[in-house]
Amino acid sequence: MKKIVIGAAAALMLILALPMATEAKTEPKIPNGVTIGSVDVSGMTYDEASSAVKSYMSTLSTANITLKGAREEDVVTVTAAELGLTWTNPDVVNSALNIGKEGNVVQRYKQLKDIANGGVSLDLEYAFDDTMIMDVFANQCESYNVEEVDYSLKLENGSFTVIDGNTGYELNQTASIDSLQNYIVDSWDGSDFEIALTIDVTEPKGSEEELAKVGDVLGTYSTSYKTSGSSRSGNIANGCKLASGITLYPGEEFSMLDNITPFTEANGYFLAGSYLQGQVVESFGGGICQVSTTLYNAVLKAELEVTERYNHSMIVTYVDPSQDAAIAENGGKNFKFKNNTDYPIYIDGYTTSSKTITFTIYGVETRDPNRVVTYQSNVLETTVPDTDTYVLDSSQPVGYVKVTQSAHNGIKAQLIKVVTVNGKEESREVVNSSTYSMVPRIVAVGTAGADENVLAQINAAIATGSYDQVVAICNSMAAVIAAQNQQIDPATGLPVDPSATPSTTDAQPAEGQDAAAAPADDQNQNTDGTTGG
């Protein structure tokens, strides 16, 4: 009897265990009454719920989103998919599956009670892709960006015309992305929507009324370049044009280099004389410093605030010492000034057929009409070169002696500003102090064809420091070489006159300069250690 009972009990346990084994093989399902966002996932498995949510996200991706700029015409419509709509919390499906199965007994009971009392809704989280949004901004919303243009003046035939400005608009990408992301998190119901992007607005400076006041001559200055050749003259005319026609508002700074560079052929410049390590060489833009110098003196007369100015490494002749303003594209030399008046100013520059360059600063005159400003160049010290520098040139024959660059006096100077009111001196101040390098005369001496004896005699002549002695010895050596070689003139069949063989000429100064000074513009490495271009 005991065996029968035991056997029956075992059979019962086996029968009861069968459903449990079957249930263990059944895939878990989400309890009824559970939603993820707007998707009802009741009774679904993990894969079914994931698929349902993804299908819903696909529907959301087709929604049209209108991106609006600051102007009426700035409207672009894209889909949510183009903005990279993404489901960001796929683990919410596991959370749905685990409702009533996690936590202690009380927590599980509460979860099941919530389902019974109306269901449980889990958040569906999604976001846009920042990179895809930025691509849309760059490729489809570029027209939203409009450069701000200030009101400006144009001087034509002696009369000013006001050129209207326009408001500037710039799409603020960071703020606009934040607005889009916040909207879909806080407000989006999945339907089409439009949103105003964040646009930074910049109003133009000035107005027609403000610029109409400009017309008084605050300062004007002219220099001559009548001895300049065509290349240097072309550089001056080109630089003058680039630095002219500019409206400068109160507090704004003018930079010479910003307006006239680069010094290239494509930008209208030619090869002309400029300074390089104490010598005059050919470079694009040679002569341009006369443009900055002329403007500098007009600025001084207008009593604007000069914020940056350099003198040349060597003296120039188109203005007195300390009245120049050197510029060098690659060497940190620039000419800058600030409009320190309460009104806009206008910079006008022009050149004439007689090779005169003039700059005039127009504005609103507020100074006492009885107040007169003048500037005096005060030379403190002059050092005159007492020796020449001789350079042996193996590409030229013996007898060739040529001054390739004239000497430059070393000068220390100051520019003094003198103010008189009703004819009485009121003030006197130093505007700048300038030091110009002394550079000796450079003489090229030909050595082609010279043997050791001839070369020794040439060097001995150079050692005397006498230019006349060098010329005499070189002529003598040329005659000796000609006699030794029995040179014959093919045109006459007669021996070459030894006195006609040597070539001695004076220096050729940089274009537009006197032979005594051969001034040019600072370029590259100057004698004062600065660089330029």
Q: What is d(CA 532, CA 292) in angstroms, rounded to the nearest whole number?
A: 14
CA dihedral sign of residues 208, 210, 216, 220? negative
Of the chain, the percentage scoring pLDDT greater than 70 comes to 84
Lowest mean pLDDT among 415-424, 452-461, 483-492: 483-492
Q: What is d(CA 205, CA 149) in angstroms, rounded to the nearest whole number?
A: 8
In the predicted structure, residue 525 carries a pLDDT above the cut 70? no
In the predicted structure, residue 2 carries a pLDDT above the cut 50? no
Tens digits of residue pLDDT in 169-180: 999 999 999 999
**Structure-token pair, residue 403:** 């001054």
pLDDT mean over 241-250 = 98
Would you place residue 20 in the very low, low, confident or very high pLDDT band (cuts 50, 70, 90)?
very low
pLDDT attached to residue 53: 96
Tens digits of residue pLDDT in 335-359: 999 999 999 999 999 999 999 999 9
User: 168 burial class (0-12, 13-18, 19+ CB within 10 angstroms)?
Assistant: middle
CA torsion, ordered 461, 465, 467, 470, to nearest 10 deg: 10
Q: How many CA atoms lie within 13 A of 252 on its CB side?
A: 15
**Structure-token pair, residue 258:** 């910003």
Determine which helix (DSSP H) or strand (DSSP E) holds 426, and give its type and residue range: strand 424-436
Tens digits of residue pLDDT in 385-427: 999 999 999 999 999 999 998 899 999 999 999 999 999 999 9
- By DSSP bridging, strand 120-122 and strand 410-421 are unpaired
DSSP notation for 358-424? EEEEEE---S-TTEEEEEEEEEEEEE---S-EEEEEEEEETTEEEEEE--B-EEEEEEEEEEEETTE
Would you place residue 332 in the very low, low, confident or very high pLDDT band (cuts 50, 70, 90)?
confident
pLDDT mean over 377-391 = 96
Phi/psi at 169 (5° precision): -130, 135
Neighbours of 369 (CB within 10 A): 6
pLDDT attached to residue 116: 72
Buried b (16+ CB within 10 A) or exposed e, 251-286: eeebebbeebbebeeeebbbebbbbbebbbbbbbbb
In the predicted structure, residue 496 carries a pLDDT above the cut 50? yes
pLDDT greater at residue 21 or residue 268: 268
Where along the chain do its domains lie?
213-436
Determine which helix (DSSP H) or strand (DSSP E) holds 140, and give its type and residue range: helix 130-140
Tens digits of residue pLDDT in 274-328: 765 555 666 777 899 999 999 999 999 999 999 999 999 999 999 999 999 999 9
pLDDT attached to residue 507: 39
Tens digits of residue pLDDT in 22-77: 444 588 999 999 999 999 999 999 999 999 999 999 999 999 999 999 999 999 99
In the predicted structure, residue 7 carries a pLDDT above the cut 70? no
Q: What is d(CA 79, CA 140) in angstroms, rounded to the nearest whole number?
A: 13
Would you place residue 499 in the very low, low, confident or very high pLDDT band (cuts 50, 70, 90)?
low
pLDDT attached to residue 329: 83
Would you place residue 245 in the very low, low, confident or very high pLDDT band (cuts 50, 70, 90)?
very high
- Calculate the average pLDDT of the chain: 87
How far from the centroid of its chain's Cα atoms is residue 377's Cα? 35
In the predicted structure, residue 471 carries a pLDDT above the cut 70? yes
pLDDT attached to residue 305: 98
pLDDT attached to residue 276: 57
pLDDT greater at residue 182 or residue 279: 182
- The alpha carbons of the chain give a radius of gyration, in whole angstroms, of 43
Would you place residue 137 in the very low, low, confident or very high pLDDT band (cuts 50, 70, 90)?
very high
In the predicted structure, residue 487 carries a pLDDT above the cut 70? no
Residue 301: which of 249, 269, 247, 337 has the closest Cα?
337
Amino acid identity at 270: F
In the predicted structure, residue 5 carries a pLDDT above the cut 50? no
Diameter over CA atoms, the chain: 159
pLDDT mean over 137-161 = 96
